[in-house]
Amino acid sequence: MKLCMIGTGYVGLVSGVCFSDLGNEVICVDKDQDKINNLKQGIIPIYEPGLEELVLKNYKNKRLKFSTNLSNSIKKSDIVFICVGTPTKKNSTGADLSQIFSVAKEISKSINKFKIIITKSTVPVTTGDEIEKILSKKVNKNKFSVASNPEFLREGEAIRDFIYPDRVVIGSNDKKSATKLRNLYSPLISKGAKFISTNRRAAELIKYASNAFLATKITFINEIANLCEKAQIDVEDISIGIGLDKRIGSRFLRAGPAYGGSCFPKDTKAIVNTADKFKINLSVIKSVINSNSLRSKLLLKKVNEILNKKIRNKNICFLGVTFKANTDDMRDSSSLEMIPFLSKKGAQIKYYDPTGFKKEFSNLKNVNFANSIGEAVKGSDLVILHTEWNDFKSINFKKLHSSKNLKIYDMRNIYSPLKIKSQGFKYFGIGR
């Protein structure tokens, strides 16, 4: 099939490349000329394991193309995916849909034959209706169909999540288009992915409800972890103990810092905003947002206790600063709250991240990037394991640090407390 992906951010680029790898002809369009030039040379704008190889392979075999010419790319395609950003609006909690609507206007000028227009971006319920209205102003209704096909890719695991999805959701009010889209996904469905066909609004809501539910699950275990810490219980036992109940499930029950990234914080706010418009109070999700927003403060309070209330001049090392492992994404990472706070309190901070230096900390006092784990850990009073990169899972602290006074705050519960303690270091984890 001939596909056009509008927007080469996370969603558009990963989905476009994967669709081309499944044998489709795909044009990825972006208005950013530099980005497109770079992609043509195999320079990838985001860090995502496996993506570069797939881009090079499919660009070489010409199933994957890159362009800045939106109109031509739409004209050449049968299916057009809208994959532009839907960030939180300034001074509001709702999603900013300006990019979606401006793309819809562009599409309406370039419909030369029947096309299915799909939102892959995360968009609030009724956005498909709005896009349909915009298109109808210029084009006859029998020339297009608007569908919703939410994506469930995780950064760092995006290619695997695309190829082996738990489910493919298609929301369409038109049966013919739903069948066409099912065919597009048939290579994945035949490998075991479940296919769900719903009306358009339901598909839009499935995406938000999924992210809000996962955020709730994480927040739930984080609060249980707070209780565990006081009651001398290891939260890891609780995660296993409840996760084995198939009705609960074991995934997304890892206690840690506040959830971050470009999706959960934004989407939890946006679903509450949508519900408010329908005069529905999503009190559970509101409470999740509130709990998560207080989490970094709670963890910083613990840092203060670990350092016996003397943060000034203490050498603190952060291992990992991105919002999670296997990504270079800093958006809504809890380190963005923790590091500036500790710097303000007079700590000397070194951080190491496998994805390198972060401009977000460049103007902070006494915050420096270290080139290796060893350099970061050396001379520290406290090591904070902030992200769960594999690189951090078997550090020989004894080799890197001579003093027994080293304290380790393992915010991802990577290490066995007993093992670390047996090496003579002081260990603190989350909910244990």
Residues with a catalytic annotation lie at 263
Per-residue binding string, ligand UGA, 259-288, x by CB under 6 A, is xxx-xx------------------------
Decide: is 213 part of the binding site for ligand UGA (CB under 6 A).
no
Q: Which of 76, 154, 378, 426 binds ligand UGA (CB under 6 A)?
A: 154
- Residue whose C-alpha is closest to residue 2's, from 112, 84, 106: 112
CB 114 within 8 A of CB 38: no
Q: How far is the CB of 367 from ligand UGA (least distance, A)?
A: 21
CA dist 369 and 362 (Å) reads 9
CA dist 203 and 196 (Å) reads 9
Task: Provide the pairing of β-strand 167-172 with 144-148.
Answer: antiparallel
Decide: is 211 part of the binding site for ligand UGA (CB under 6 A).
yes
Q: How far is the CB of 259 from ligand UGA (least distance, A)?
A: 4
Q: Which of 30, 151, 353, 410 binds ligand UGA (CB under 6 A)?
A: 151
Decide: is 65 part of the binding site for ligand UGA (CB under 6 A).
no
For ligand UGA, give the closer residue by CB, 124 or 260: 260
- Residue whose C-alpha is closest to residue 381's, from 407, 342, 410, 350: 407
- Residue 154 DSSP label: P
Q: Which of 115, 269, 295, 324 binds ligand UGA (CB under 6 A)?
A: 324
- Residue whose C-alpha is closest to residue 118's, from 185, 69, 164: 185
For ligand UGA, give the closer residue by CB, 254 or 432: 254
Mutual orientation of helices 335-344 and 283-306 as an angle, nearest 10°?
40
Q: How far is the CB of 55 from ligand UGA (least distance, A)?
A: 19
User: Which window, 14-22, 62-70, 152-160, 193-201, contacts ligand UGA (CB under 6 A)?
Assistant: 152-160
Decide: is 236 part of the binding site for ligand UGA (CB under 6 A).
no
Q: How far is the CB of 155 from ligand UGA (least distance, A)?
A: 4
CA dist 334 and 283 (Å) reads 24
Q: Is 150 exposed, middle or buried (0-12, 13-18, 19+ CB in 10 A)?
A: buried
CA dist 349 and 367 (Å) reads 5
For ligand UGA, give the closer residue by CB, 25 or 252: 252
> What are the C-alpha distances in Å from 256 to residues 1, 387, 410?
43, 9, 9
Q: How far is the CB of 131 from ligand UGA (least distance, A)?
A: 19
196 SS3 class = strand
Decide: is 155 part of the binding site for ligand UGA (CB under 6 A).
yes
For ligand UGA, give the closer residue by CB, 253 or 408: 253
CA dist 311 and 315 (Å) reads 9
For ligand UGA, give the closer residue by CB, 314 or 324: 324
For ligand UGA, give the closer residue by CB, 318 or 323: 323
Half-sphere exposure of 162 (CA within 13 A, CB side): 23
Decide: is 214 part of the binding site for ligand UGA (CB under 6 A).
yes
Q: How far is the CB of 69 from ligand UGA (least distance, A)?
A: 27
For ligand UGA, give the closer residue by CB, 62 or 247: 247
User: Which window, 34-42, 133-141, 147-155, 419-427, contacts ligand UGA (CB under 6 A)?
Assistant: 147-155
CA dist 148 and 170 (Å) reads 6
Q: Is 113 exposed, middle or buried (0-12, 13-18, 19+ CB in 10 A)?
A: exposed
Subset of 238-257 contacting ligand UGA (CB under 6 A): 252-254, 256
Per-residue binding string, ligand UGA, 293-312, x by CB under 6 A, is --------------------
For ligand UGA, give the closer residue by CB, 177 or 262: 262
List the Cα angle 266/272/277 in 5-degree steps.
125
Contacts to ligand UGA by CB under 6 A: 122, 151-155, 211, 214, 218, 252-254, 256, 259-261, 263-264, 323-324
